[in-house]
Amino acid sequence: MPKPRYAQVSLEATPWYHCYSRCVRRSFLCCPGTVTGVSYEHRKQWVEDKIHETLR
């Protein structure tokens, strides 16, 4: 069984971590799903805008 993040991450050691996750439930972020064929292209600009906001 996987450990929760609070048990894996030590903020005393370093407060900065690069976290990422995969699409494990076939819920794709920006591209059409390979199984369902549903397109989520409408999310792409929103995601780019949010990334640029955090970089400011």
Whole-angstrom Cα distance, residue 35 to residue 8?
33
pLDDT the model gives residue 22 = 54
Single-letter amino acid code for the residue at 31? C
pTM above 0.95, yes or no: no
The ranges assigned to domains in the chain are 25-56
Q: Tens of pLDDT along 1-56? A: 888 877 888 878 877 766 655 555 566 666 776 777 777 778 788 888 988 888 87
The residue written with tokens 């059409």 in the block is: 32
d(CA 35, CA 38) in angstroms, rounded, equals: 8
Are 11 and 23 contacting, i.e. CB atoms less than 8 angstroms apart? Answer: no
For residue 42, what are its two tokens?
């409408």
Asked if 30 contacts 40 with a C-beta cutoff of 8 angstroms, the reply is yes
